Amino acid sequence: VHSAAERVLAGLDPEQRSAVTAPAGPVCILAGAGTGKTRAVTSRIAHRALTGDISPRHVLAVTFTARAAAEMRSRLALLGVPGVQARTFHAAALRQVRYFAPRLLEGRAMPELLDSKVRVVTLAAAKVGLRADRAAARDLAGEIEWAKSSLVEPGEYVVAAAKALRDTPHEPAKVAEVFAAYEKLKRGNGVIDFEDMLRAAVWGIEEHPDVAEQVRGQYRHFVVDEYQDVNPLQQRLLEAWLGGRDDLTVVGDASQTIYSFTGATSSYLVDFPRRRRGATVVRLVRDYRSTPQVVGLANAVISQARGAEARLRLELVGQRPAGPEPELRIFTDEPAEANAVAARCRALVDGGTPAREIAVLFRTNAQSEAYEKALTEAEVPYVVQGAERFFERPEVRQAMVALRAATRSIPGETPLPAAVVEGLAAVGWAPDAAPAGGAARERWEALAALLQLAEEYAATPEVLPVGEAAAVERQATLGDFNDELARRAAQQHVPTVDGVTLASLHSAKGLEWDAVFLVGLAEGTLPTTYAKTPEQVEEERRLLYVGITRAREWLWMSYAAARSPGGRARRPSRFLPQLDRSGGAERAGAGAARRTERRRNQVVSCRICGATLLAGADRKLGRCPTCPSDIDEELYERLREWRQRVAGAQKVPAYVVFTDAT
Ligand code: ATP
Ligand code: MG
């Protein structure tokens, strides 16, 4: 056992080790992306378990996504410590609420979980005389989510929104009315939303000493990853779980706060050392994930940040050997951009890079479609993460309704995958009746994916908090699975398959890939047009930082000069020129020789896009290697024209590629 614990330490640097071996009590790991925070915290759990300091089943590790939670569980199992509960706040709260519901509700049925606020918000808006289309309802739903996550009641909304300088979707008094009507509608229909569920978990503990005792008996050692994005409601739940105890390790990077629009705040992380007496504070700077070139870019982007977290920031120091230069490419239009990205994915896969080691990351889910199409044409398998579409398919929605209904007709003891097969028989289906092709086949496969999810879900052992004496493994039921589906639909966790990951920047945090494509880096997309206040713009910058730091080896950034061929010209993201001004990109990869060359040579501009040309070969060609290499005269003319049309774009993009054209 001891040597196993030593093996855990062997894979760590001295700072990480100090985090791992810090005594029981508050520990705070503050560090930039890719420095091994998650690795350190996972190792801390493993080390403490292997040395007999703690029992794995008394640990609750909270992570940000289901995927991160699954990864932590499997990493721990590999280190010889199975059975740790690693969950998202939502999943942990849902478990707890479901477990205690029969006792606390005294036989009344547990309210159903709302998988999306939008429909109820639309009704609530109508009730107060507001016609809200889908987009407007989504904005209102987002605002209600912010309020509830910030522990703001409808009656307090107007004042709270003013204090938080919210860019409200309607006049604040009207939003408050919709909010109140929404709460009333929910109550009337016996449904709850996700914030209600977290609140129920808090309420269960705060108002019921026996529940508190049981939950706290089960959870004694806490870990929270991505703590920079915790919101007041989640913090309140964490405090309820802790109940005044302090065996808590938090891990985070204030420069990666990207959920403040939903009420998250890095202040809990930043203030942690002051708030918790005797806290061990560990800072990490060695970046183990990315090549020095990628690390340099990340430093360059975030060094321009103006957020309050800036004073805490430490520059990352890359540990890996040099790799390929990051690239920034411009395209005439979005289809051209998507096709080029797909072609590169194809080439990578053909060259032996597994598709699951590649990601295409974008700012908004709406950008996904062009890439889905291009990848399909290039015959590259892909999986859309954070896609609403799977759960919006009519057959999937119907199936979810049928599965809810089935909880009333199917005996409770029916094991999970079988119960789902039985439930699906009512619609949307039989496992061995796959149609040959076409729409019928697609429908069949979507429902087969639901069954596969049920199989996976049933196979994950769930240890429920039943207090000191025994942790009981309970057979998952159809009811549990229905809630899991609702949670996935709301949080947009689609089933996993092997393929190129298409994901929003928001859903990519904590994850890493060998090759990352950051697409759509145009003004209006990143930063989005919705980012109006300086704080919102800063959050967009942090999103770019998160995106860049997902890449281990290859990083391709791109944007299209127009949405569609011949369309209105757009400017490159304002964050891009800063890469150049700070010298970050150059410092990162190009090295001293190139710096000298820049000084020696007169500045020559690319005849296509106006970028500064540095390398000799490029200068001779009169164009930079970031411009499409297969450029023809027509494209050249279009680009030139585009450049002339872009008002004030003296310094068009700052190019990060100083390599010779490939
Ligand atoms: P993020 O801020 O993006 O969540 P992180 O700080 O949590 O990043 P990890 O995901 O823990 O970083 O680590 C990044 C990568 O570096 C992982 O592949 C991890 O296995 C590796 N790594 C971490 N620490 C070390 C180390 N001491 N030696 C070698 N590799 C390491
Ligand atoms: Mg991490």
Among 65-69, 257-261, 327-331, 468-472, which stretch is predicted with the lowest mean pLDDT? 468-472
Q: Which ligand has its closest atom nearest to the C-alpha of 550?
A: 1
Of 289, 513, 516, best ligand 1 pocket probe by most atoms within 8 Å of the beta carbon? 289
Decide: 547 in ligand 1 pocket, CB within 6 A. no
pLDDT confidence tier of residue 311, bands split at 50, 70 and 90? low
Q: Is 34 in the pocket of ligand 1 (CB under 6 A)?
A: yes
Is 31 known to sit in a ligand binding site?
A: yes
Ligand closest to the CA atom of residue 295: 1
The mean pLDDT value for 376-395 works out to: 79
Residue 36 labeled ligand binder: yes
Q: Are residues 527 and 633 in the same domain?
A: yes
Q: Is residue 439 part of a domain?
A: yes
Instruction: Identify the residue whose C-alpha is closest to ligand 1 atom 19.
Output: 36
Q: Which of 387-391, 501-505, 563-567, 578-582 has the highest mean pLDDT?
A: 501-505
More confident residue, 531 or 553: 553
Distance in Å, CA 227 to ligand 2 centroid: 10
Inter-CA distances, 12 with 16, 172, 226, 295, 386, Å: 6, 51, 20, 20, 32
Residue 252 and residue 358 in one domain: no
Q: Is the CB of 197 under 6 A from ligand 1?
A: no
Instruction: Indicate the range of 285-299, 401-415, 487-501, 643-657 predicted with least confidence.
Output: 643-657
Is 90 strand, coil or helix? helix
Same-domain status, 227 and 279: yes
Residue ending a domain, among 257, 284, 311, is 284
Q: How many helices (H) and strands (E) does the chain have?
A: 27, 20
ipTM of the complex: 0.99
State the Cα–Cα distance between residues 419 and 403, nearest whole angstrom: 9
Residue type, 32: G
Ligand 1 and 289: CB distance under 6 A: yes
Task: Indicate if 176 and 202 belong to the same structural domain.
Answer: no
Q: Comparing C-alpha atoms, which of 346, 208, 331 is closest to residue 629? A: 331
- As a whole number, the mean pLDDT across the chain is 82
**501 in any annotated domain:** no
Which of 525, 626, 647, 568 minimizes the C-alpha distance to 333?
Answer: 568
Note whether residue 258 is domain-resident: yes
Residue ranges making up the domain that contains 151: 118-192
Give the ligand 1 atom nearest the CA of 16: 27
Q: pLDDT-based confidence at 519, cuts 50/70/90?
A: very high
Same domain, 329 and 238: no
- 363 domain-assigned: yes
Ligand 1 centroid – CA 71 distance (Å): 13
35 touches ligand 1 (CB under 6 Å)? yes
Return the minimum-mean-pLDDT range out of 316-325, 534-543, 579-588, 596-605: 579-588
Phi, psi of 387 (to 5 degrees): -90, 130
The finding on whether 319 has its CB within 6 A of some atom of ligand 1 is no
Give the domain CATH number at 347: 3.40.50.300
With a 6 Å cutoff on the Cβ, whether 16 touches ligand 1 is: yes
**Same domain membership, residue 538 and residue 457:** no
Q: How far is the CA of 6 from the centre of ligand 1 (A)?
A: 19
Instruction: Give the pLDDT confidence of 187-225 residue by residue, as tens digits.
Output: 999 899 999 999 999 999 999 999 999 999 999 999 999
- Tally of domains in the chain: 4
d(CA 552, CA 537): 26
517 lies in the same domain as 399:
no
